[in-house]
Structure 1
Amino acid sequence: MATAQTSTPGTLSVVGLGPGATDLMAPRAQAALEQAEIVVGYRTYLDLVRDCLNPQSEVLSSSMMQEIDRCRKALELAEAGRRVALVCGGDPGIYAMAGLVFELARSMEAQAAIDIIPGIAALNSCAAVLGAPLMHDFAAISLSDLMTPWELIERRLEAVAPADFVVVIYNPKSKKRTDQIVRAREILLAHRSPDTPVGIVSGATREHESVRLTTLGMMLDEEIGMQTTVIIGNSQTFVWREKMITPRGYSKKYGL
């Protein structure tokens, strides 16, 4: 008597594209894109990697704010036995899709193999074009309150400000959110000098890259948007030859 055949779950690769420059994408990420039967992603990120895709691959694109739909569709396709790549900008485990994929996979009781392929995160690429601002302890905080209450974000800012961390701010401002970056600066100014170096970067490694150096006291005079990353130095951070550097402590220990 014939038995019913069941489909074998496929694989879902959650691929970090890095900052956007093709030569800064990991070889494993490129291989995953080339081998995928179906590539799913936000259309802006897909446009960055069109040349890396297998011409035979099916491409499913969507617009911003459809993260849950993208992740669910990618999981469903993998559950049906397909090799799927879900693309993310930067690193998928830093403010991106990796966590959501696992949350949905748990709720769906998905059996497909999930492979997280890391990429260069925004804080890495922005730090590189600025110089070396993250050489000592740092904290990354997103100012977007779409999914995190502002009261909690503010408490986190108040916790890191007096500890003299270098602070990396993601999602600092949008058309609707204009007050959060003002409040973040106020909190930091209560604990560090207005002369503290600040780096403001957008489009790191891309054609429209913008890099500006300013100070904590003057940072709000600069253009800051949703795609901007702001890096605020600690008490030891300095600027030399238009580069932002946070010393690790070698000079004090070894007398450089």
Structure 2
Amino acid sequence: MSGRLAVIGLGPGPEAQLTGAARAALEAASDLFGYGPYLARVVLGPGQVAHPSDNREEIGRAGAALALAASGRRVAMVSGGDPGVFAMAAAVCEAVETGPEAWRRLEIEVVPGVTAMLAVAARCGAPLGHDFCALSLSDNLKPWATVEARLRAAAAAGFALALYNPASRARPWQLARAFDVLREVLPPETVVVFGRAALRPDERIAVTRLGRADAGMADMATCVLVGSAETRVVARPGLPPLVYSPRSAT
């Protein structure tokens, strides 16, 4: 039996948000790798083996999965959300590029999932309904000066923004600084959505304005959406507001 590696997006959390293709790829695997909390979301079938690891071990995790696949096993690498959005697909590609020739000969499939920004957007309307970009506020793999430069450029260009990795115990200050940077470019009425654990039982969605946005409302389970200057809020009596970015731009 020839080995293969499937890099699978588990979506935002609920079973209903797992795609049929992802479910089939999980069931076909002999071994499953992933960050421990994500891997714990998967119910193992008979004979399947889990290989959990810590959050900052992406390249080591990718190498271990590729090595096992090269030995003939059918391996799954799981990510929360979509594996290609600040997740394991890029780490697998990086490991293949720098690893042994045998890894380049493996069958590798990336199975998409619903990423956090799409889950949060769906819960409040269509804040990403026009041009947008996604940025990670983590400076683990890039300088903070690069983060600030990209924030300014994207906001000045009129993009709505999806901010991943907004805060952690090791980085409690970065979202507040990001808001300060955005306030240099965007008006205080700009819409901001805090989406924590979107589509999960502990979901919390809050809509505010950039001038009042409080970084303390976010943690690592939060995706923050910042509208463009054209993003609107539609009030609805007795119902949550609809947030959307118009399909046309001036």
Bigger CA radius of gyration? 1
**Counterparts of 2:47 and 2:57 in 1: how far apart (Å)?**
25
Q: Does the aligned pair in 2 maintain the 1:36–1:54 contact within 8 Å?
A: no
Q: TM-score by structure 1 length?
A: 0.90
Partner of 2:3: 10
**Counterparts of 1:177 and 1:78 in 2: how far apart (Å)?**
35
Identity %: 41
Partner SS state of residue 48, structure 1: coil
Q: CA deviation at 1:219?
A: 1.0
Structure 2: gaps spanning 5 or more residues:
none
Greater alpha carbon shift after TM alignment, 124-133 vs 182-191 = 182-191
Q: What are the equivalent positions in structure 2 for 1:1-256 lying under 5 Å apart?
A: 9-50=2-43, 53-108=44-99, 109=101, 110=103, 111-220=105-214, 222-240=216-234, 241=236, 242-249=241-248
Q: Which amino acid aligns with 1:238?
A: R
Cα distance change of structure 1 residues 164 and 65 upon mapping to structure 2, 3 Å threshold: same
Q: TM-score by structure 2 length?
A: 0.92
Partner deviation per Cα, 1:41-82 (whole Å, 9 max, x = no partner)? 1121122222xx322211111222222221111101100000
**Counterparts of 1:168 and 1:196 in 2: how far apart (Å)?**
14
Partner of 1:4: none
**Counterparts of 2:33 and 2:171 in 1: how far apart (Å)?**
29
Partner SS state of residue 217, structure 1: helix
Q: Does the aligned pair in 2 maintain the 1:22–1:49 contact within 8 Å?
A: no
**Counterparts of 2:215 and 2:167 in 1: how far apart (Å)?**
13
After the TM superposition, which segments of 4 or more aligned residues of structure 1 sit over 3 Å from their partners? none
Q: Which amino acid aligns with 2:45?
A: N
Partner of 1:5: none
Q: Which amino acid aligns with 1:134?
A: L
Greater alpha carbon shift after TM alignment, 224-233 vs 180-189 = 180-189
Q: CA deviation at 1:178?
A: 2.6
Q: Which amino acid aligns with 2:198?
A: A
Q: Which amino acid aligns with 1:29?
A: A
Partner deviation per Cα, 1:140-160 (whole Å, 9 max, x = no partner)? 111100111111111111111
